[in-house]
Structure 1
Amino acid sequence: MCGLFVAFSLCLVSCDGGNILVFPLDGSHWVNMKVILEELHSRGHNLTVIRASNSWYIPEQSPLYTSITVEMDDSMEDFFDVYLDEQLRVEGASFWTFLKFTKLFLSMISTAHEMWAEAFIKIVEDQKVLQSILDSKYELMLTDPALAPGLYLAKFLKLPVVLNVRWITSGEGHFALAPSPLSYIPVPGSGLTDKMNFIQRVKNFLFSSIGLFQQKFIVEPNYFAVQEKYFEGRFDTISLLQEADIWLFRSDFVFEYPRPTMPNVVYIGGFQCKPAQPLPADLEEFVQSAGEKGVIIMTLGTLVNALPADLADEVARVFAKLPQKVIWRHKGATPSTLGNNTLIVDWMPQKDLLGHPQIKLFVAHGGTNGVQEAIYHGVPVLGIPLFFDQYDNLLRLQDRGAAKILELSDLNADTFEQGIQEVLHTDSYRMNIQRMSRLHRDQPLAPMDQAVFWVEYVMRHKGAPHLRTEAYRMPWYSYYSLDVLLLMLTVLTALIVSTLGVFRFLCCRRRKKSKSKQN
């Protein structure tokens, strides 16, 4: 075991610095992509990042990388605040209103893919940019497949692909790659666990069908023009995902439900987590002033700046009544009910705060990064899921007794206060999350070291085709062995018909002989 560990460690430093082309996704996805880039840069790799001219978080100038900027006019920066307002407005409304809202949301998804399909075209049609990319002789494409342009550009450039992934163009990555029995593997968005009764399995199947519909009719058409003009042969976005050499999967089985997986999936859940660093002096002073009562921190992530004003007032009113101090990331108008114990900030060092011994509770929206950091540092969670995967993330914590979910539609002063008091004063929440923390940390190699090893592995070997499944080359009827089943049924039917025919022939012959004897 020791020899294996030493050999693995030597492999980590055996790759000379290479040229890596990075096609990230903005928002919180960039936050964790940047963590990997920092580590790759520290090991001598040259990085080039493709970014939009109107990017929210990805700067054009950086000591970590050079950038290629794609001019884009449309921005979806305000979408999530509008989405939140609309979601609150339709809560409890009619089913048809809900369907209309869902249609608008799917339209937004389609628009995002359309924008980035056009960005791919701009890159390959700009001869100066394209020649610069070709001259750089990149050895690898590192991309986030929640949007697909990185996959198409890698295929166009014939580069090996490493995915920084949990979410793909429509759903969770496992469902595109690994066998996923719907009898015990919950589909994202279903709100189910791995223990389902019959009705829940029906619901799980229906949600799976929605994902397939979204991919085929909402996402895929946006890339038809790209496929026809710049590539030969028939393929789709899912087959490009399945062609990827390595999947750096931002999850692990302390958090995820057990399920089948594939050899080119590397689990790096919590790779962005590190021991807490000292807080800025003013923040440390505020935290220490809480005394033995401790501190509560609250954030709704990078995509939502603030709750609607009336809800923010209710939240602030509850915080003002608590004996704990509160640090709240809130970029909206200051609530009129704000108490002296509450510090409002535009940004907080979330990882360092979660690792501080004074932190008693994390009020969070349930994004993957925040959930994994809460597990790493062992802080119980009161979850307020807003959209996307957030409910399912929090459900996994709640199912393990480490969090409590408070639905946005049920959020008011009373329910919020009850939720805080329950998680704060029920010891099992902290005990369960700390147990998860111990399990998560008990690994032979840090998740970040695994991530870097496999990136460099693909560079050293110019891909990892021996780890890829051949399933993506098969038509769907072959994948599910329907052609084999059809052959077997045909043969069985032929045998039965032949047998019946022989018996009928023998019976008829016998009757004829009997009649002849009688005559």
Structure 2
Amino acid sequence: MLLLLLVDLIRPLQALEVALIPSTGCYSHDVMMKEVGLSMPPGASITWIQAFLYDFGFGEIPLPANWTRLSIWGHDDEGVELMRSAGSLLWEQNVPTDFDRPWDLRGSFSFFKMLERHQTYCEKMLDDQRFLQYMRSQKTDVVLLDHFLQECMGGLAYLLNTSVVQFSNWPIADGYITSLNVPANPSATPKTGTPYSGLGMSFGERVGNLLFHWVIITARIIQNFVLSRMFARKGFPEVDIIRSEAERAIYAGRSEFLFDVVRPINNRVKYFGSNIQMNPSDYVTVIPELHENHRDVMHPQSGINCRQNIQLPNSTAQLPLSLSDCLCQNGPVSFAAANISSLPVRRTNLYMELDRSSVQQKFLEISRQFPELDWPSLTKEKFILVSFGSVAQAHYMPLDLVRQIFSAFAQTPYKVIWQTNSATKSLLWTRNISVPRNVIMTSWAPIKEMLAHPNLQYLICHGGINTINELLLFGVPVIGVHLQGDQGSNLRRLTDLGAAVMISIARIAQGQLPHTMRKFENNLERHWQRAAQLSSMLETYRTIHKDQQVFWIGWTARHGKRLRDRNFLNMHYVGDTENVFWFTVIAILIGMFTLVLF
């Protein structure tokens, strides 16, 4: 026993050998995995193992010079065409399953095509001499696997014969935690990927939830069968995908424990959302000051004489008086004369005890980097921020949908800043439609700085898990437009908590966005209050659970393999009976349906 304790004390002093297996090119997933690698102890030897299949305009993510990149390039013509078809489909329905139109299976076909490509390039990785040499020569301490849609890469992780942390830029997903023998009854727990509420589902929603559960089970059983045969053909018959998942020490998601749906979990399921190392105050570029009758915007410096305005280099924009490089000796300059609302300043804790010179520098820097936003003007104008994530690109949007969106934006009293994730010249529909005067389109925007801006009114977004976490940190309400994957689930959690409302892309196409925005704006203060409460809860929770991600990954590196080999934890999958039962029921129903038709 003493010997084991001594080994455990010495082990952290040795350089860790870490393997990172990121996604197939989704930028937000790769950023998350890189952040995980950067959190490793100094001196850790890190190998990045990736099948890069989809380039969303960012290319392969840059890595530190001391990391080893072991990647296969698969961004070919087939991948480009799949991105184009799926990218266009996002603006018509929720992908892979549209719960408003479940009979439309185009999203499911794209989904299965992606799985097929993932397996093809995973097989190429298994044949790659670099990987085989790494597998045979390296004594890896821990593998970090972005598991979503990467069951085959999970088989490669199993071959490294070490502790595996299953960690994706997704919330906790029912299809995966069943491998850890965690139940997820579809009559009670809304499946991840559905827009159903955790506060209660109607009978029809429960039926839809059950059908989606069946689809997940069927896909995983078929995939496990196909991959097992592939690994056996390659000389690795011991690889069983679901059983290898059951042997992983930790399953982690990017969501927040506080705000997840009530569901069964066990002590191997971890929530790492709160480990995002971000302080919202670090992104403040404008400091509001609360006064009895009106809002002032105070510049971050004081004590020197004032100038009327300053000219920004490489820009025709001028800074307003209150945001020049000094503060008038008479105090903050009021914008009451500039029609600024007398509403109280929201999120006052965000703007307290800031270094004013640092804030001023950030203001100037953002103004220079994004001249098209006219950053100084935002000190006098309230605005809405619109962003649909790095995957959904505006140049794929159909013209009729753009018309509906612009019609809604033109009716709001606020300026609208839309981050399109597409180069302006690629937005061909701008040739056939007039952009409303209150709308600014930009290919990229400083999202975090805008979330910290005192004149931000609310956000319209897709509901990706990173965006949801940022909204909760900054305390900003949202109108959510779910387009794919987990986004419906993420937005439903915020809607249940009172900080959001949801609208589908199909309802926007039907012209319902103006009504949704108007109703949301009429209740805006209530949504802000609720968002502030959630943000305060999260701030306290983050303080208590700081560095949890680093701790558990380090713990897995030290103990995971020993726990698996000595059976200290029940790491054997026992759910086959239930899944085989449901698979049999589905097969019988499909057979009966086929007989009736033919």
Calculate percent identity across the aligned residue pairs: 23
Instruction: Give the structure 2 partner of residue 434 of structure 1.
Output: 532
Alpha-carbon distance in structure 1 between the residues aligned to 2:126 and 2:90: 38
Among candidates 155, 163, 167, match of residue 164 of structure 1: 167
Matches within 5 A, 1:108-127: 108-127=110-129
Q: Could you say if the C-alpha distance between residues 315 and 110 of structure 1 is closer, same or farther in structure 2, counting changes exceeding 3 Å? A: closer
Question: Of 363, 377, 381, which residue of structure 2 is paired with 1:289?
Answer: 377
- Mapping 1:6-21, distance limit 5 Å: 16-21=14-19
Q: Which residue of structure 2 lines up, in the alignment, with residue 22 of structure 1?
A: 20
Indicate the SS of the match to 1:30.
helix
Cα displacement string for residues 3-53 of structure 1 (whole angstroms, at most 9, x for unaligned residues): xxxxxxxx9x9565412111101213223222222333x744232112335
Secondary structure in 1 matching 2:547: helix
**Conservation of the 8 A alpha-carbon contact between 2:171 and 2:253:** no
Residue in 1 aligned with 2:416? 326
In structure 1, what is the Cα distance between the partners aligned to 2:500 and 2:166? 30
Alignment CA distance shift 1:155-1:457 (3 Å): same
1:239 corresponds to which residue? 243
What letter is aligned with 1:82?
Answer: S
Moved more, 114-123 or 71-80: 71-80
Q: Does 1:310 align with 2:421?
A: no
Give the distance between the partners of 1:257 and 1:109, measured in 2 at CA. 25
| CA shift in 2, pair 1:468/1:24, >3 Å | farther
Whole-Å separation in 1 of the counterparts to 2:52 and 2:194:
36
* 1:48-447 equivalence runs, <5 A: 48-52=47-51, 54-56=53-55, 57=58, 59=60, 61-63=62-64, 65-72=67-74, 74=76, 76-77=79-80, 79-83=82-86, 85-86=88-89, 101-102=104-105, 104-146=106-148, 147-165=150-168, 172-177=175-180, 178-194=182-198, 195-217=200-222, 220-233=225-238, 236-272=240-276, 274-276=278-280, 277=283, 278=362, 280-282=366-368, 283=370, 286-291=374-379, 293-306=381-394, 307-330=397-420, 331=422, 332-333=427-428, 335=430, 336-412=433-509, 415-426=512-523, 427-443=525-541, 445=543
Compute the displacement of 1:67 (Å): 0.6
The residue aligned with 1:451 is 549
Paired amino acid for 2:38: E
CA RMSD between the two structures: 3.5
Give the aligned residue type for 2:158: K
Of 420-429 and 197-206, more deviation after overlay is shown by 197-206
Partner of 2:257: helix, strand, or coil?
Answer: coil
What displacement does 1:355 show? Answer: 2.7
| CA-CA distance at 1:123 after TM superposition | 2.9
Matched position secondary structure for 1:357: coil
Higher mean C-alpha displacement, 114-123 vs 281-290: 281-290
1:460-475 equivalent positions in 2, closer than 5 A: 460-461=558-559, 463=561, 465=563, 470=570, 472-474=572-574
Query: Runs of 5+ in structure 1 lacking a partner?
Result: 1-10, 482-519
Q: Tell me by how many angstroms 1:362 deviates.
A: 0.9
| More moved, 142-151 vs 163-172 | 163-172
Unaligned segments of structure 2, at least 5 residues: 1-8, 284-361, 582-598
- What is the CA–CA distance in structure 2 between the aligned matches of 1:396 and 1:60, rounded to whole Å? 31
Change (3 A) 1:200 1:446: same
Q: Following the alignment from structure 1 to structure 2, what is the Cα–Cα distance between the partners of residues 174 and 258?
A: 14
Question: Which stretch has the larger CA shift, 403-412 or 165-174?
Answer: 165-174
Deviation of residue 169 (structure 1)? 12
Displacement of 1:411 in angstroms is: 0.7
TM-score, scaled to structure 1? 0.78
User: Measured at CA, do residues 213 and 129 of structure 1 come closer, stay the same or move farther in structure 2, by a change above 3 Å?
Assistant: closer
For residues 551 and 204 of structure 2, the distance between their equivalents in structure 1, rounded to whole angstroms, comes to 44
Separation of aligned partners in 1, 2:250 and 2:63: 27
Q: How big is each residue's C-alpha offset from its partner over 1:213-266, in whole Å with a ceiling of 9 and x where there is no partner?
A: 122235652553124533234x63222222111222211232211222111222
Mark the CA change 1:431 to 1:121 in structure 2 (over 3 Å): closer, same or farther. same
Shift in CA distance, 173/468, structure 1 to aligned 2, threshold 3 Å: farther
Change in Cα spacing, 1:390 to 1:462, as seen in structure 2 (3 Å) is: closer
Distance apart, 1:275 and its partner CA: 2.1
SS at match of 2:18: strand
1:146-205 deviation line (CA, Å, top 9, x unaligned): 112331112112121011136599865434432223332112344322323545434332
3-state SS of 2:541 partner: coil
Q: Pick which of 336-345 and 215-224 moved more.
A: 215-224
**Deviation at 1:380?**
0.6
Q: CA–CA distance in 2 between the matches of 1:255 and 1:475?
A: 27
> For residues 445 and 16 of structure 1, what CA distance do their matches in structure 2 show?
29
| Alpha-carbon distance in 2 for matches of 1:192, 1:464 | 40
Contact (CA 8 Å) 2:384, 2:416: kept in 1 or not? yes
Structure 1 residues 378-406: Cα deviation after superposition (integer angstroms, max 9, x where no partner): 11111111122212211111111111111
d(CA) in 1 for partners of 2:128 and 2:215?
37
In the superposition, the TM-score normalised over structure 2's length comes to: 0.69
Matched-pair contact (CA < 8 Å) for 1:19–1:138: yes
Alpha-carbon distance change, 262 to 474 in structure 1, aligned in 2, over 3 angstroms:
same
Q: Rate the CA distance shift 1:136–1:87 in 2: closer, same or farther, 3 A.
A: closer
Number of residue-to-residue matches in the alignment: 463
Task: Give, in whole Å, the separation in 2 of the partners of 1:409 and 1:329.
Answer: 21
Higher relative helix content: 1
Structure 1 residues 421 and 250, CA gap change in structure 2 (3 angstroms): same
Contact 2:170 2:465 in 1 (8 A): no
Are the equivalent residues in 1 in contact too, given 2:171–2:465 (CA < 8 A)? no
| CA shift for structure 1 position 212 | 0.8
Counterpart AA for 1:155: Y
How far apart in 2 are the matches of 1:477 and 1:428?
Answer: 48
